[in-house]
Amino acid sequence: MGTYLSTPKTEKDSDDGENDRLRFGLSSMQGWRSSMEDAHAAYPDQDSSTSFFGVYDGHGGKAVARFCAKYLHQELVKQEAYLARDLPIALQKAFLRMDEIMCGKRGQRELEKLEGEEEQVSEKEGLISSLESGEAEPGNDDWSSDHGSPSDGPTSGSTACVAIIRHNQLIVANAGDSRCVLSRKGHAYPMSEDHKPNKESEKERITEAGGYVHIGRVNGSLNLARAIGDSFFKMNKSLPAEKQIVTANPDIRSVELNNDDEFLILACDGIWDCMSNQEVVDFVKEQLNSENKLSTICEMVFDRCIAPTSGGDGSDNMTMIIVEFKKPLPSGSSSSKEPES
């Protein structure tokens, strides 16, 4: 079948939701790619004070992205740091935990199942309902007795960009080149940084772990320096997970939200290849003024980005989530500090 289809699949799977703190809209589109390897998760009520949103862009298969969409938020709430309200540490541990549990026998079986699943729900139900349910098989969300080694892990991988909103705090964890951007008074503030192999700090870790960068790719193969999965690049037993050739260790940025903050955008690189941070913010803000649904705005971005022919920018899978903050934000949100790493 090849990398691209002869005609793009432009059908979109979209959804909207809200609670008393925010409203969100999301959509995904396969486009020119021969398969859909993006996944996402949206849980506005992860708990009574916390919202969770994530986008995952798979490569080499769809299983790891779907695994993360199904389980990363579940592993997050199990972390002691989450219960202790240390969300950055909890996010870091949850990202690294994905690699651990995918190496065990049960993790491998779940990956095989997810890779084998077609976009099996009816068009009326939409793909989102199958990915966002987050429901594990009975007992399959307890991985404590399931052990393996990196050599047993998946050869495919996925980016992960996750945003947690708790009260007036926004914490974003990112591994790979999916991206999160905050709109503050119409200005785009990056809440993540792309992890490309040519970036000096990434290249240094790669070479110190025994790898190399060739034509912008790790060992001439992978065009990402951080990702969940890709176990082939994580087999150096003398190094911790954070220092492997490719690591799932996320960069984490946080900011105190204030009433100047309008909305948040999470999207896979199928969008950012075609539009800059500010261009996407400008587009979304303009459409919000037209009172469009948030999911409709995502769809409009896809239509703007998709290439007229396959190959090059605009040919990738596209996934996007918009989170709009309701006003006023919780008390204590008067700070106007810029996002911090």
pLDDT, one tens digit per residue, over 72-126 is: 999 999 999 999 999 999 999 999 999 999 999 999 999 999 998 865 433 333 3
Average pLDDT over residues 7-23: 96
Whether 192 and 267 have beta carbons less than 8 Å apart is answered as no
Q: At residue 314, does pLDDT exceed 50?
A: yes
**What pLDDT is stored for residue 330 in this prediction?**
61
β-bridge partners, 29: 12, 318
Q: Which helix (H) or strand (E) holds 134?
A: none
CA-closest candidate to residue 206, choices 192, 224, 193: 224
Read off the pTM: 0.90
CA 151, CA 133: separation in Å to the nearest integer? 30
pLDDT of residue 327: 80
pLDDT in tens, 121-157: 333 333 333 334 443 333 456 676 667 787 788 999 9
Q: What is the pLDDT of residue 119?
A: 53
Residues 311-335 have a mean pLDDT of 82
Q: Which of 3-7, 146-150, 181-185, 225-229 has the lowest mean pLDDT?
A: 146-150
Percent with pLDDT over 90 in the chain: 82
In this model, does residue 193 exceed pLDDT 50?
Answer: yes
DSSP string, 273-339: TTS-HHHHHHHHHHHHHTT--HHHHHHHHHHHHS-SSSSSTT-S-EEEEEEEEPSSPPTT----PPP
Q: Are 212 and 206 in contact (CB under 8 A)?
A: yes
Instruction: Name the pLDDT band for 175 (thresholds 50, 70, 90).
Output: very high
In order of their start, the domains of the chain are 4-134+151-193+253-325 (3.60.40.10)
**Which tens digit of pLDDT belongs to each residue from 212-256?**
999 999 999 999 999 999 999 999 999 999 999 999 999 999 999
Give the pLDDT confidence score for residue 149 in this predicted structure: 81
pLDDT at 117: 80
Q: For residue 117, give the nearest of 176, 70, 55, 159 by alpha carbon.
A: 70
pLDDT digits (tens, 9 = 90+) for 33-69: 999 999 999 999 999 999 999 999 999 999 999 999 9
Q: How confident is the model at residue 143, as a pLDDT?
A: 73
Confidence of residue 336 (pLDDT cuts 50, 70, 90): very low
Cα–Cα dist 245/209, whole Å: 5
* pLDDT for the residue numbered 16: 97
